[in-house]
Structure 1
């Protein structure tokens, strides 16, 4: 009798070096997410206090040289400038994942890509259907179709930190890679669909500093006094071209080499590692929280919330974030399993994927940015969209907390098992091959 072939496993455990890298990245993003939550709460409280005019004055304060068309408000500097750093780090992370990370393996890359794409398509479709069903057809409502498509990894990880949930390593890696692909899709949407005018000469000129930046990083040049002026010039020219300046950030991130080269020297980290080590804490701990502080200050009292509840676009955003993201990510993962006849890894259950899908509905940073691009910063509908993003993200966070609390004991026991290192070689036994284990027994 022939033995039936083994069915492929989804969300298998990553390698120990990959787990270490992901854990370090998630730790930084978790701290940044907590700062993001604090910044958002401070902004909302201030904007609804008797000193709300001071908050508006600070947000609308203009700084920068007018001759270079860079006399921007502080809110614009946060969304166009600081978020460019955030997307630079995302670009580096994206390239690493596809070149040397888990996504370098097409078999592993297919699942998070499929889940991310479904997690973008379903919220967009539900936004369009819901907003047109509850409100009048036409107008600028549909310009916000991309608002509920983004996932805020820092916000999601902050929720995990607050509820003290221990996700299995494979699921944590899946969450991070899903968010990385999600960021790439978001920046592509911004570049293609939210560019109202295009200054072709400025765009062509931006290719010069971008090429120079690429040349320098491939020569392993990491001198900040040389790279920062080149990067700023590229950012300024992309900003002047009409394309959102964050595109410059992700483009430069994709230019950074992620493999070790001869110029790195023996035992040295790659240039991507060094950039991430310097910029990830700044991005997660300063750039994103400052943007959140500038963007989240919406009026809730005095009719603001009631007006938002009657806006078809706002209702579409809430439905897209809470239901669309969950159905898209979970449905994409389940459909991928059915299509490939694969099974979840033995350490996981579909309840884990469901909880992760709910976390994906926590949209904040990029959702707020797309809302501003869709309806104009400070416009009445932009204010409604901000409230909808906050409400949808909060709802998704609460539901995800309930679902993950039910799995908390399972996660905790799994993490404790992963930390066993009987042979004291610095690598948990669960990541070692059967022949390397202290007891010689098979792995889980």
Structure 2
């Protein structure tokens, strides 16, 4: 018995090393959801308490970048929606790459259920929206209710604590990632503005350059930023929404270390052992220290380093600014706006009803057919609660709405009202369902 005891000791640090990033991720998303909510409420208060004119003036502030004849002019709203949101989609792209390479989606068996559920959560809401808007001017917004806002959704689950099995929280995260992939494809394919073949070729060349940088394991921030900027410029002129450059850039970042950790540590151990044996008490020269530093850097993939650095800025900076700039809508309707118009009602119904029906029906069907197990042995009631919460479609939904109705402020305002109402209903009702259903207790050995 005593001889076997030491083999248990390394398990705790090993488990902590694996679980700590996951726990930190959920805490970050939950906290950012609160900040995001505060920004949205702030925008609504600003516009509805007499500040609508000032709000529009601030967003319409014209900015300029460049010198001489090469000057780009844009409004503050365009800077947020076309510039900062590219950084948001860059982080989204890295999250997708991480999950596909080393995360929950790397094995088909793990990815099957959230992928199937996400498919239902995209098809059914789009169909519900079109049921209200087919043949009308609002039909172009069919992509609005397809997305799940991961920050708000995880925030709701975090508030419920043990009422939600951790496996269901992971399921929702993976589902939201598949939703993001679907939303990205919808933006790229259906919300462009006329394709230019020459610039498409330039974009393809830029993307190939990023792939070459990935193969070369480039670690420089500046090099990746320059490549991403070139791709953004090419896509902007090619007619594809330029924020897609962020996704492509994120998918190009290397997700695995250059060398296997055991190999790096073995070489580092030999190097350090040699230094200790020969250097005595003298100071180590700079070359020896640089070699140690390079070896340590080889243990961490560029994707992990970039995501760790950018994620807090996006969660607590970019996303709240986007919410502040895009949630300001007059709830009473305002001039020319119909709060109960087809777009508003269709969006709210698609997010609240369409999302939960699509996700629950597809996921429950997959479990019943034996295509995938129920996450964490949860009940169907818990699955339904998570499906309802997934109807919180805020950030990407607002973004798609701004693309779909860029030339029609009245329909855009309707879409925003529908997003706010549908997301609020999904969050409140989903939380209530998860709160009143029985807590899932882990099985004892």
Q: Any idea what SS the aligned residue of 1:301 has? A: coil
In the TM superposition, what is the alpha-carbon distance from 1:161 to its structure 2 partner? 4.0
Matched with 1:23 is: 23
Q: Which of 430, 442, 445 pairs up with 1:400?
A: 430
2:331 equivalent to 1:300: yes
Q: Which of 114, 117, 141 pairs up with 1:115?
A: 117
Matched with 1:425 is: none
Partners of 1:210 and 1:123 in 2: CA distance: 32
Matched with 1:371 is: 401
2:224 equivalent to 1:227: yes
Contact 2:154 2:169 in 1 (8 A): no
Q: Any idea what SS the aligned residue of 1:64 has? A: strand
Matched with 2:59 is: 59
Q: Any idea what SS the aligned residue of 2:439 has? A: helix
> Alignment length, in residue pairs?
395
Matched with 1:198 is: 195
Partners of 1:342 and 1:150 in 2: CA distance: 23
Superposed CA offset, 1:8-29 (max 9, x none): xxxxxxx976644332222222
Q: Any idea what SS the aligned residue of 1:308 has? A: coil
Partners of 2:336 and 2:18 in 1: CA distance: 44
Q: Which of 76, 98, 101 pairs up with 2:100?
A: 98
Contact 1:141 1:312 in 2 (8 A): yes
Matched with 2:167 is: 170
2:79 equivalent to 1:77: yes
Contact 1:131 1:315 in 2 (8 A): no
Contact 2:112 2:372 in 1 (8 A): no
2:316 equivalent to 1:285: yes
Matched with 1:180 is: 177
Q: Which of 123, 132, 151 pairs up with 1:130?
A: 132
Q: Any idea what SS the aligned residue of 2:369 has? A: helix
In the TM superposition, what is the alpha-carbon distance from 1:312 to its structure 2 partner? 0.9
Which stretch shifts more, 147-156 or 101-110?
A: 101-110
Superposed CA offset, 1:241-298 (max 9, x none): 2211121111111111112213974572211111110111111111111111100011
In the TM superposition, what is the alpha-carbon distance from 1:99 to its structure 2 partner? 2.1
2:356 equivalent to 1:354: no
Q: Which of 416, 419, 437 pairs up with 1:386?
A: 416
Partners of 2:27 and 2:185 in 1: CA distance: 27
2:249 equivalent to 1:252: yes
In the TM superposition, what is the alpha-carbon distance from 1:219 to its structure 2 partner? 3.0
The root-mean-square deviation of aligned C-alpha atoms, in Å, is: 2.5
Partners of 2:254 and 2:107 in 1: CA distance: 18
Partners of 1:17 and 1:358 in 2: CA distance: 32
Q: TM-score if structure 2 supplies the norm length?
A: 0.82
Contact 1:151 1:361 in 2 (8 A): yes
In the TM superposition, what is the alpha-carbon distance from 1:69 to its structure 2 partner? 7.9
Q: Any idea what SS the aligned residue of 2:50 has? A: coil
In structure 1, stretches of 5+ residues that fail to align are: 1-14, 133-137, 418-429, 431-442
Matched with 1:45 is: 45
Structure-2 change in CA distance of 1:165 and 1:57 (3 Å):
farther
In structure 2, stretches of 5+ residues that fail to align are: 1-14, 265-293
Structure-2 change in CA distance of 1:122 and 1:18 (3 Å):
farther
